[in-house]
Amino acid sequence: MARIVQCVPNFSEGRDKEVIEKIVDEVRKVEGTKLLDYAPDKDHNRCVVTFIGTPEAVKEAAFNACKKASELIDMSKHTGEHPRMGATDVIPLIPISEVTVDECVEMSKAIGKRIGEELNISVFLYEKSASSAHRQNLAKVRKGQYEGMNEKMKEELWIPDFGPNELNVKSGVTAVGARMPLVAFNVNLATNNLEIANKIARAVRHISGGLRYCKAIGIEMKERDIVQVSMNMVDYTKTPLFRVFDMIEREANRYGVNVIGSEIIGLVPTAALVDCADYYLKIENFSHDQLLEKRIYE
Amino acid sequence: MARIVQCVPNFSEGRDKEVIEKIVDEVRKVEGTKLLDYAPDKDHNRCVVTFIGTPEAVKEAAFNACKKASELIDMSKHTGEHPRMGATDVIPLIPISEVTVDECVEMSKAIGKRIGEELNISVFLYEKSASSAHRQNLAKVRKGQYEGMNEKMKEELWIPDFGPNELNVKSGVTAVGARMPLVAFNVNLATNNLEIANKIARAVRHISGGLRYCKAIGIEMKERDIVQVSMNMVDYTKTPLFRVFDMIEREANRYGVNVIGSEIIGLVPTAALVDCADYYLKIENFSHDQLLEKRIYE
């Protein structure tokens, strides 16, 4: 399979179609990328663009789109409900195929450096790319938003990784970082008792003592009269789906409740599911190179 | 993912490198194909070529290679240990990605028709492409081999699907047909009692009353001092890996034996494993279109 990185930049323009098209065109123009989706949101006045490509093409397209946004968006006039700090608010880089997360970290640094040097925009590296622990969480980096950034960057703790430590008034501040693909994975329980779903969510999720790369809450599925453990699996290579599934089944059993089924919402990396087959079939010495499709695009 | 068909033609030449290269070159030459492997065998005097490509490219490459073989190989002088009936002995077509087996059947008919009409070679459609039940099994089609084919094709039951019902003395007879990808899947048992592996093999395999698309035998793994149920899964879409795995586990349990693990030998279609994850995680309404990688090559 080819080397593929996914990039999901968020731009602070969700209303002016012409501006959005011009930014998205910068992605379309770069050979070796493929635009998957872009979703302008009027209330948030924000547009999330999803594209994939080879590492080199993604680096080029991400920078070009950010440059175009810096030309066309004026943050000093921006309003919208979603927290934001820059014309290009955030550039996440996600390893999809034959690329490691470390390579995406390197990419984020290269992109951030260019944005800082060539566009004179302050850049914070976040998530796996963060230069220190307090910068990992995007919400913390963005806290204070556009309006508070000039003050924030004067603090020792918040000197940008690239670019000036003074606000670029027109373009604001951009976060760039590598993260693992997120899998939205829900497990349905044969009960309508929300308390049970919440107890199980607390058992499996990282924040309350559970699995490191699992976020979970209990929710009601009113139409079906059942409850669900709703999860974001934020690194399936380290906290695999089968482990959390088996744990939920066991916890549910403790309350005399069966697991009805599970759901995967949206896209999932093939490897996240192949790893489950590997586990349940107890395959010895399985290599992902044995997947026939890998041979096609190598 | 792109539309991909695998083709594994067998040619009756395993010794003369120049001839083999010229035949393989016909595959290389066609845009849209990718040569994965070719393995000349001197004892069998036979060469198995493996390539993949789009349906159109595979049709073209398969015919061109067959034509080249008809020019360079003289079956009236061929000797070798493997049963064979033609210069191009057999052309199997295997759906890999975004292609149905029915489309491969159509491809086999188009290829067979050209071989019959343009090269004046008798062609039998076999396996999923067979025009009647007694022609499904390749061994039965090939019975009598090159030397017996002229007589055989005079019988009502063995009039070729395409081409003359008289032997093309130089090129012999060719079988063309669609089949599902085969998965070599073995399950290891925590015992060295071969009789138990054989009993389980008989329980799960089609021929003795088990699952329709499963072939199985018990074998000894002397180095590890265990036994194995060794299987060929000949249509994983209809007899899935998880079903035979669970069945073996249950049968083994009847003898107080645990399953140690399993093995997948060689390549496996991704879908065969994703189906297992779907089953064990009890995913509701899963679609293979949710696989991220599918979006890349669509």
Domain spans of chain B, in order of start: 4-178, 183-292
Do residue A296 and residue B34 have CB atoms under 8 angstroms apart?
Answer: yes
Cross-strand bridge partners of residue A291? B268
Summarize the confidence of residues A41-52 as an average pLDDT: 92
Question: pLDDT > 70: what percent of chain A?
Answer: 99
Q: Does B273 touch chain A (CB under 8 A)?
A: yes
Q: How far apart are CA A297 and CA A292, in angstroms?
A: 10
Query: What does the pLDDT read at residue A292?
Result: 83
Per-residue pLDDT at B82 exceeds 90: no
Q: Does B190 touch chain A (CB under 8 A)?
A: no
Joined together, the tokens standing for residue A34 give 């493929």
Summarize the confidence of residues B58-83 as an average pLDDT: 95
Q: B264-290, pLDDT tens digit by residue?
A: 998 899 999 999 999 999 999 999 888
CATH topology for B4-178?
A: Formiminotransferase-cyclodeaminase; Chain B, domain 1 (3.30.990)
Question: pLDDT > 90: what percent of chain B?
Answer: 88
Do residue A269 and residue B276 have CB atoms under 8 angstroms apart?
Answer: no
Per-residue pLDDT at A294 exceeds 90: no
Q: Where does residue A254 rank: exposed (0-12), middle (13-18), buried (19+ CB within 10 A)?
A: exposed
Query: What does the pLDDT read at residue B1?
Result: 53
Per-residue pLDDT at B13 exceeds 80: yes
Per-residue pLDDT at A228 exceeds 70: yes
Q: Does A284 touch chain B (CB under 8 A)?
A: yes
Do residue B241 and residue A281 have CB atoms under 8 angstroms apart?
Answer: yes
Joined together, the tokens standing for residue A115 give 């944005």
Do residue A284 and residue B188 have CB atoms under 8 angstroms apart?
Answer: yes
DSSP secondary structure of chain A? ---EEEE--EES-SS-HHHHHHHHHHHHHSTTEEEEEEEEETTTTEEEEEEEE-HHHHHHHHHHHHHHHHHH--GGG---SS---BSEEEEEEEEEES--HHHHHHHHHHHHHHHHHHH--EEEEEETT-SSGGGSSHHHHHTTHHHHHHHHTTSGGG--SBS-SS--TTTBEEEEEE-PPPEEEEEEES---HHHHHHHHHHHBGGGTSBTTEEEEEEEEGGGTEEEEEEEES-TTTS-HHHHHHHHHHHHHHTT--EEEEEEES-B-HHHHHHHHHHHTTBTT--GGGBHHHHHH-
- In three-state form (DSSP H/G/I as H, E/B as E, the rest C), the secondary structure along chain B is CCCEEEECCEECCCCCHHHHHHHHHHHHHCCCEEEEEEEEECCCCEEEEEEEECHHHHHHHHHHHHHHHHHHCCHHHCCCCCCCCECEEEEEEEEEECCCHHHHHHHHHHHHHHHHHHHCCEEEEEECCCCCHHHCCHHHHHCCHHHHHHHHCCCHHHCCCECCCCCCCCCEEEEEEECCCCEEEEEEECCCCHHHHHHHHHHHEHHHCCECCEEEEEEEEHHHCEEEEEEEECCCCCCCHHHHHHHHHHHHHHCCCCEEEEEEECCECHHHHHHHHHHHCCECCCCHHHEHHHHHCC
Query: What does the pLDDT read at residue A2?
Result: 77
Task: Measure CA B237 to chain center.
Answer: 15
Q: How far apart are CA A65 and CA A144, in angstroms?
A: 25
Summarize the confidence of residues B129-154 as an average pLDDT: 95
Per-residue pLDDT at A182 exceeds 80: yes
Q: Tell me the chain B residues in contact with residue A296 when contact means C-beta distances shorter than 8 Å.
A: 2, 4, 34, 52, 96-97
Q: Tell me the chain B residues in contact with residue A94 when contact means C-beta distances shorter than 8 Å.
A: none
Q: B29-68, pLDDT tens digit by residue?
A: 999 999 988 989 988 899 999 999 999 999 999 999 999 9
Instruction: For residue A39, name the pLDDT band (cuts at 50, 70, 90).
Output: confident
Question: pLDDT > 90: what percent of chain A?
Answer: 88
Instruction: For residue A81, name the pLDDT band (cuts at 50, 70, 90).
Output: confident
Query: What does the pLDDT read at residue B37?
Result: 87
First vs last C-alpha separation in chain A? 5
Q: What is the architecture of the domain spanning A183-293?
A: 2-Layer Sandwich (3.30)
Query: What does the pLDDT read at residue A80?
Result: 85
Please say whether the beta carbons of B163 and B117 come within 8 A: yes
Joined together, the tokens standing for residue A202 give 């607390």
Complex ipTM, two decimals?
Answer: 0.77
Report the mean per-residue pLDDT for chain B: 95
Per-residue pLDDT at B298 exceeds 60: no
Q: Tell me the chain B residues in contact with residue A6 when contact means C-beta distances shorter than 8 Å.
A: 292
CATH class of the domain defined by B183-292: alpha beta
Per-residue pLDDT at A267 exceeds 90: no
The closest alpha carbon to A22, from A63, A65, A55, belongs to A65
Instruction: For residue B296, name the pLDDT band (cuts at 50, 70, 90).
Output: low
Q: How far apart are CA B181 and CA B184, in angstroms?
A: 10
Q: B207-254, pLDDT tens digit by residue?
A: 999 999 999 999 999 999 999 999 999 999 999 999 999 999 999 999
Do residue A97 and residue B293 have CB atoms under 8 angstroms apart?
Answer: yes
Q: How far apart are CA B200 and CA B205, in angstroms?
A: 9
Chain B residues 95-154 within an 8 A CB cutoff of chain A? 96-97
Q: Chain B residue with minimal CA distance to A276?
A: B277
Query: What does the pLDDT read at residue A296?
Result: 65
Q: Residue A123 to residues A68, A78, A86, A161, A220: CA-CA distances in angstroms?
A: 16, 19, 10, 6, 40
The closest alpha carbon to A292, from B38, B28, B96, belongs to B96
Which of B97, B258, B270 should be substituted to probe chain A, the one whose Cβ sees the most A Cβ atoms within 10 Å? B270
Q: B158-190, pLDDT tens digit by residue?
A: 999 999 999 999 999 999 999 999 999 999 999
Instruction: For residue A297, name the pLDDT band (cuts at 50, 70, 90).
Output: low
Cross-strand bridge partners of residue A4? A97
The closest alpha carbon to A259, from A177, A165, A157, A188, belongs to A188
Please say whether the beta carbons of B77 and B163 come within 8 A: no
Query: What does the pLDDT read at residue A117?
Result: 98
The closest alpha carbon to B179, from B122, B107, B230, belongs to B107
Strands A226-233 and B10-11 turn out to be unpaired
Number of Cα atoms under 13 Å in the Cβ half of residue B245: 25
* Identical topology for domains A4-178 and A183-293: no
Instruction: For residue A1, name the pLDDT band (cuts at 50, 70, 90).
Output: low
Strands A259-265 and B88-97 turn out to be unpaired
Q: Chain A residue with minimal CA distance to B260?
A: A282
Query: What does the pLDDT read at residue B210?
Result: 95
Query: What does the pLDDT read at residue B211?
Result: 96
Q: Taken in order B193, B194, B196, B200, is the CA torsion positive or negative? A: positive
Summarize the confidence of residues A37-41 as an average pLDDT: 89
Query: What does the pLDDT read at residue A82?
Result: 86
Do residue B267 and residue A188 have CB atoms under 8 angstroms apart?
Answer: no
Q: Tell me the chain B residues in contact with residue A262 when contact means C-beta distances shorter than 8 Å.
A: 281-284
